[in-house]
Chains A and B, each alone.
Chain A
Amino acid sequence: MAITPLMNDGMDGAPAKRVLHSMQEQKEKGRRIVGIYCGYAPIELIQAMDLVPAVLCAFAEGPIASAETVLPANLCPLIKSSYGYILEGTCPFFGLSEAVVAETTCDGKKKMFELAAEVKPMHVMDLPQLPDEAEALVNWTAMIRKLQGFLEKTFDRRVSDDAIEASIKATNRKNRLMRRIFDYAALHPPLLCWQEMYDVGFLALPARGEEIEPLLESLLARLAVRREQGECFGTERSPRVLVTGCPVGGDALKIFRIIEEAGGLVVTPDSCTGIKSFLGETEEDTGDPVAAIARRYLAIPCACMTPNTRRLTALSQLIDRFRPDAVVDFVLTACHSYNVESHKIGRHVGERHGLPYLKIESNYSKSDEGQIRTKIEALFEIARS
């Protein structure tokens, strides 16, 4: 018997369509939209100013050919795809956005943003990359205040620290609900499939806490019903997989699909398009809400940070919570930070957790699906033995 889709709104498996629908509705209500690219964009601040953050398109193979008329071919597909969308004017979220917030996460991105700035007002934040230095917090707090100034000027409005504090609390509540939803993937077998986790994350990430809470509550109620009725994905014997690494979306979702086709279950999408953005908790009532936001975002364990020991700690917590049988490290071609870091990740997963580990380096094309399938099947052979 087929399991009723979690959201069941006719747009399951098409999360971009669902979010676009929501953005257009908000725009009609007079809300103005700000584009974002990355998990470091401080959503709480944007929402406190009654602006709507829109995650811009970056995951399709299609626009890459256009991007390569300007950008070098041996660049990460996420950067090429993002810029291709901008050049072609095919990202509807970019079209709706009046300004774009970006961060200096990597060299490729920051140089691409210079080119994107020729098309749309860009505000680039200088992201500190030694997160444990005392200056990092001071500088990142200053960068968030500067973003506040940019948004106040661009959108002609002011925001109070009280409004930012309220926004922090709403986001914390949203993230707690999201973590409760992900908990259903920790069950054996899981009650959520990767597509549902991806869909919910896609919708929830840019949503305002107080507006998405009723929906998230209803999803939790549906999951409770699934539990009562014994509905689940796969069997006790299906290999459970934690996928860590670069963001996964659009054409890169092939990694999740291939794992599923090989008989596996993705129980933990550990990336910025998965569970990662919902894990942190911003400290409340500190008297300096912007510093509190800065602290939480600096703690995001992205490979652009050095040393990035927080990623190993977070990974261990996820492994203990979701109990995967294997870890797949998904690295986008030419993403040097995640590519180099994978050595440490593999060592940690093997030595600390005794789990089989597989690094997959790939892009958005379909050309290597057969080879990925062979590697995933071999990983499952190891996990079963």
Chain B
Amino acid sequence: MNEEFAGIDIGSRTTKLVVVDAAGAVQRRRQADTGFEPMATAEKLLAGTSCARVMATGYGRNLFEIAFAGRTVTEIKAHARGALAFFPGTRTVLDIGGQDSKVIAIGDNGRVHRFEMNDRCAAGTGKFMEVMARTLGYAIEEFGDEALHADSDIAISSMCTVFAESEVTSLIAKGRERREIALGLHSSVVRRVAAMVGRVATAGDIVFTGGVAKNPCMRALLAQLLGRRILLPAEPQLAGALGAALLALESEKYQ
């Protein structure tokens, strides 16, 4: 028997699909912009797969549950499971996605025991980083590297995406160095995120997931400020989908 199990993470910016086999090994991974019709995107990603069970997560999960009669799990549980797959001893997960950020504490039994989520605004999320990179004329992929090359930091006080953008514009007008502004933006996000991490889980390594984890400056500043090791999964943005796929497999197993 060669059954497969899928996890689909319907996020605000991108939708991710991971398919695992009965042993939990990743068979396929796909990704697409969520766009304006999340269910059409989901259908396209799922095309050609014949999975025994599909588990949806992400903000589009409830829509998926209705449209495909699938099962759902929250992003919190999915990310925790995905992080555990990448790093079996995981106790703290930091996930920074397109529109929210969250910190998850995992107990010794491997289950989530508390979490905190910032979802009130774009401050400190992938969206914030994207807008700021664009304002400074950087591609999102190079934003972190450029910031790491700054000679000194600039204090940025606004955390609101709209206000920070105008603060950046005025710093540019004052002739400040682009890389320094970039570093200042990273520092301000990291200070916020570090406070959230401190409230939920105070010690040990941190598994960093979500697209923002790919940013080397974010990782370096976080490690420095918290004095904790930051562990980066091979594909941090797939942690939620992988976790959902594994939960689909496991729910089958235990039924």
* Interfacial residues, chain A to chain B (CB-CB below 8 A): 350, 356-357, 361, 368, 370-371, 373-375, 377-378, 381-382, 385
Known: A378-B76, A381-B76, A381-B77. A371 touches B119 (CB 8 A): yes
Cβ contact within 8 Å between B114 and A374: no
Q: Kindly count the residue-residue contacts between A and B in the assembled complex, taking CB atoms under 8 Å apart.
A: 38
Name the 7 nearest CB pairs between A and B, nearest first.
A378-B76, A371-B119, A378-B74, A385-B111, A377-B74, A381-B77, A382-B112
Residues of A within 8 A of B117 (CB): 371, 374-375
Considering only residues 97-118 of chain B, those with a C-beta below 8 Å from chain A are 100, 109, 111-115, 117
A interface majority secondary structure: helix
The answer to whether the Cβ of B87 comes within 8 Å of any Cβ in the partner chain is no
- Give, as a whole number of angstroms, the nearest-CB distance from A342 to chain B: 11
The complex places the Cα of A350 from the Cα of B200 at a distance, in Å, of 13
Query: In the complex, which of the residues A356, A361, A370, A382 contacts B59, with contact meaning CB atoms closer than 8 Å?
Result: A370
Known: A381-B112, A385-B112. A374 touches B73 (CB 8 A): no
Residues of B within 8 A of A350 (CB): 114
The answer to whether the Cβ of B120 comes within 8 Å of any Cβ in the partner chain is yes
Q: List 27 A-B contacts (CB under 8 A).
A: A350-B114, A357-B114, A361-B120, A368-B119, A368-B120, A370-B59, A371-B117, A371-B119, A373-B62, A374-B59, A374-B74, A374-B75, A374-B76, A374-B117, A375-B117, A378-B76, A378-B77, A378-B112, A378-B115, A381-B74, A381-B77, A381-B112, A382-B112, A382-B113, A382-B114, A385-B109, A385-B112
The complex places the Cα of A378 from the Cα of B114 at a distance, in Å, of 9
* Interfacial residues, chain B to chain A (CB-CB below 8 A): 59, 62, 73-77, 100, 109, 111-115, 117, 119-120
- Give, as a whole number of angstroms, the nearest-CB distance from A38 to chain B: 28
Cβ contact within 8 Å between B73 and A381: yes
Residues of B within 8 A of A374 (CB): 59, 74-76, 117, 119
The complex places the Cα of A368 from the Cα of B114 at a distance, in Å, of 20
Residues of A within 8 A of B76 (CB): 374, 378, 381
Residues of A within 8 A of B109 (CB): 385
The complex places the Cα of A357 from the Cα of B116 at a distance, in Å, of 11
Query: Looking across the interface, which residue of chain A has its beta carbon closest to that of B116?
Result: A359
15 further A-B pairs in the complex, CB-CB below 8 A; given A356-B113, A378-B75: A350-B114, A357-B114, A368-B120, A370-B59, A373-B62, A374-B74, A374-B76, A375-B117, A377-B74, A378-B76, A378-B112, A381-B74, A382-B112, A382-B113, A385-B109
Residues of A within 8 A of B119 (CB): 368, 371, 374
Query: Looking across the interface, which residue of chain A has its beta carbon closest to that of B104?
Result: A378
Residues of A within 8 A of B77 (CB): 378, 381
- Give, as a whole number of angstroms, the nearest-CB distance from B125 to chain A: 13
Residues of B within 8 A of A357 (CB): 114
The complex places the Cα of A378 from the Cα of B115 at a distance, in Å, of 9
Residues of A within 8 A of B62 (CB): 373
Query: In the complex, which of the residues B75, B111, B120 contacts A382, with contact meaning CB atoms closer than 8 Å?
Result: B111
Query: Looking across the interface, which residue of chain A has its beta carbon closest to that of B109?
Result: A385
- Give, as a whole number of angstroms, the nearest-CB distance from A356 to chain B: 7
Query: Looking across the interface, which residue of chain A has its beta carbon closest to that of B72?
Result: A377
Residues of A within 8 A of B75 (CB): 374, 378
- Give, as a whole number of angstroms, the nearest-CB distance from B117 to chain A: 6
- Give, as a whole number of angstroms, the nearest-CB distance from B50 to chain A: 28
Residues of B within 8 A of A377 (CB): 74
Residues of B within 8 A of A356 (CB): 113-114
- Give, as a whole number of angstroms, the nearest-CB distance from B154 to chain A: 27
The complex places the Cα of A374 from the Cα of B102 at a distance, in Å, of 12
Query: Looking across the interface, which residue of chain B has its beta carbon closest to that of A373?
Result: B62
